[in-house]
Amino acid sequence: MIFRILVLIITALLAFVIGLDAKVKLLNLDSAISYPIIALVIGGLFIGLEVSAHQAKGRKLLYASLGMLIGIAIGWFFGEIFVISLPKISKEFKYIIMLLLAYVGFTLGWLKEEELKVTYTSPSGMPTEVKMTHKILDTSVIIDGRIADIAETGFLEGVLIVPKFVLNELHQVADSSDPLKRSRGRRGLDILNNMKASKTTVIKITEEDFLDTPEVDSKLLKLAIQYVNAVIVTNDFNLNKVAEFQGVAILNINELANAVKPVLLPNEEIRITVIKEGKDQNQGIAYLDDGTMIVIDNGRHYIGKEVNVVVTSILQTPAGRMIFTQINDGRR
C-alpha cells in the first residue's frame, strides 16, 4: 500500500513539473494545478485495476480483456462511420465511442465469465465444448454436510453458488434459541468456511435477492431460472418436486446416496447384528454401514447377536431403502 501511495505522489509531482511548462489549460485551471489532479485521478484508476487484478481469477481477466478489445474494435468501426457520415462531428467523438464500448466489453467479460462457453480442441482434433454449470446450494444441503465431501472428490464441476438469502437463513438458524437448531446452523457455517478454503472447490456468494418473494425456496427457483445452466443442489423433497414442475434441474444428495449404496438382490445372504425389535411382532431391526434399514422376520430373539440373513425383498422409498430378510437357519 505504501508503494502505491509513493507512485501516486511521484506521478503527481511529475505532472506538476510538466504543467509548469505546459501551454494548454485543462479543467479551466492553471496547468500546474490541473495536470497533477488529472494524474492523481488516472493513477487512482490504474491502481484500482491493479488491486482488482490481484483478486481476480486468470480466466476472469482473460474474458474482461477480450471483451475490452472487442469493444474498442466495434467502437473504432462505428466511430469511423459517424465521422465520415457526419463531417461536422469532431473526430474526438470516435474516441469517446471507443472508450464507452471498451468499458461495456470489459464489464460484460468481467461479470459474465462464468456463463460463457469455452471451446477447446481435444487430443483427437475435434472441438469440444466445455460448459461451466452453476450449482446453487440450498440451506438443507449445507447443514447436511455431505456436499463438502462430494465437492472434495471433484464430482461437482463448475461453480457452487451460495445466495446471500441462504446465508441469512443459516445465520438465523445459528442464532436460534433452540440448542439443536443453533448447533445445526453453526455446523452449516463451518462447512461453508471449510469449502471456501478448499483448493478443489470454487464457491461464489451472490448478492442477488428477490425482495418481492419472502420464501427462500421460491427465491432459489427464481435464481436458478435467471442463471444459465443452473442446478439446485438440495435435500428438500418438496423443493425437489416444485422444481421438477417448473422445469428447474435438481441434484438431490439423498438420491445420490441411494444410488451409490451397495446393491443387494433377493436370495443374497449377508451377515448383520440385530440392534432392536421392529414394529411388527417378532421383527428385528439392523442397519448396514450406509444407514440402510434391514427388517429381519422372526429376528426379535436375536437382538444383540450377529446372524446370517437372506434377502427376501427390497422396498425403495423417496426417503431411502428398506431391506426385508429372514434368518438363514440352514434350511434354504
- pLDDT for 31 equals 54
Residue 165 shares a structural domain with residue 276? no
Note whether residue 120 is domain-resident: no
Report the C-alpha gap between 124 and 22 in whole angstroms: 62
94/76 same-domain check: yes
Q: Domain range for residue 241?
A: 132-259
Q: Is residue 127 in a domain? A: no
Same domain, 193 and 223: yes
Counted domains in the chain: 3
Position 20 confidence tier, pLDDT thresholds 50, 70, 90 = low
Do both 254 and 275 map to the same domain?
A: no
> Any bridge partners for residue 326, and if so which?
297, 310
Mean pLDDT of 265-289: 88
Residue 190: pLDDT band with limits 50, 70, 90:
very high
Res 324: pLDDT: 92
One domain for residues 70 and 186: no
Pairwise CA distance, residues 83 & 81, whole Å? 6
Please state whether beta strands 134-137 and 230-234 pair in parallel, antiparallel, or not at all (unpaired). Answer: parallel
Task: Place 286 in a pLDDT band, splitting at 50, 70 and 90.
Answer: very high
CATH code, domain carrying 139? 3.40.50.1010
pLDDT in tens, 45-84: 666 665 665 555 566 677 777 888 888 888 888 877 777 7
Residue in this structure with the C-alpha cell 447384528, named with its chain if needed = 273
- pLDDT at position 129 over 50: no
- 290 pLDDT higher than 80: no
* High-pLDDT (> 90) share of the chain, %: 9
Residue 39 confidence (pLDDT): 64
Both 235 and 275 in one domain: the answer is: no
Burial class from Cβ neighbours inside 10 Å (0-12, 13-18, 19+) for residue 219 reads buried
Cα distances (angstroms) measured from residue 10 to each of 17, 27, 32, 223:
11, 21, 15, 47
What's the pLDDT score for residue 130?
43
- How many C-beta neighbours within 10 Å does residue 308 have? 13
Structural domain contains residue 122:
no
| CA-based nearest residue to 61, from 134, 104, 103, 111 | 111
Is this structure's pTM higher than 0.75? Answer: no
pLDDT of 117 over the 60 cut: no
User: For residue 126, is it within any domain?
Assistant: no
Beta partners for residue 131, in sequence order: 117
Who wins on pLDDT, 96 or 153? 153
The predicted pLDDT at position 210 comes to 84
Same domain for 160 and 209, yes or no, is yes
CATH code: domain of residue 316: 2.40.50.140
